[in-house]
Amino acid sequence: MPSGCRVLNVLRFENHKNWNKHSERKEQLRALCSEACENFQTATTAPQIDAEFPLNVTLEKQLNECFLFHGTGPDAAEKIAEDSFCLEEASSSTDTMLGSGIYLAEHASKSDEYAKDGTGVYHGQYALLICRALLGRVKVAESVGDASHHVRGHFDSVCGDRKKVVGIFRELVLFDESMVHPEFIVLYTRLTDI
């Protein structure tokens, strides 16, 4: 179990094709939700703004838009940055506790559990994506099982609330690639106490 991490690099990237899909999906969600979605607070809902490095970020709070983490390997992070998420590939590396979707977390330490060691020049490095996520109407699931059927009508995302059930982290699952827009890659190494 790592005792911490050392951040090596933070890369901001712009994928205009993905951003346009995300923006279109946001407009569709706004039209579906004539009123604001029921408020769903995440640990990352309000970004901390440092006076020396202000973040000019606008989040659609009425659509439960927030920043969340996704753990992966450096090579996969680069591929996602270039091509966006692919549900088939995103789900193939997880146990898909709640079905085949894009798994995100409020805490970097939870996403680190899914991060993979890089190869070649990335050997010994791991990657976290910091993603802008449209949660919309959130279905809270307190048990394991395919929850994708919940997003066909009344809900837009699913929260696996293991925090409430067994006191560990919550995971947010989205079943539509356009509801997730990766914005940053964090490359890091794990620190261990010897």
Q: DSSP characters for 5-72?
A: EEEEEEEE---HHHHHHHHHHHHHHHHH-SSPPPP---TTSS---BTTB-------GGGTEEEEEEEE
DSSP type of residue 89: H
b/e sequence 50-86, b meaning 16+ C-beta within 10 Å: eeeeeeeeebbeebbbbbbbbbbbbebbbebbeebbe
pLDDT at 126: 96
Dig out the tokens for 119 from the structure. Answer: 């190869």
pLDDT at 2: 75
Domains identified in the chain and CATH numbers: 4-46+55-97+104-135+180-191 (3.90.228.10)
65 vs 162: CA distance, rounded Å: 21
CB atoms < 10 A from the CB of 142, how many? 11
pLDDT at 48: 52
Mean pLDDT by 10 residues, the chain (194 residues): 87 90 92 78 64 63 92 93 77 60 91 92 95 91 63 79 69 91 94 73
Dig out the tokens for 89 from the structure. Answer: 């590939």
pLDDT at 158: 87
57 vs 13: CA distance, rounded Å: 15
Task: Using alpha carbons, list the distances in angstroms from residue 12 to 18, 77, 184.
Answer: 14, 12, 4
177: amino acid identity, one letter = E
DSSP type of residue 151: G
What's this model's pTM, rounded to 2 decimal places? Answer: 0.84
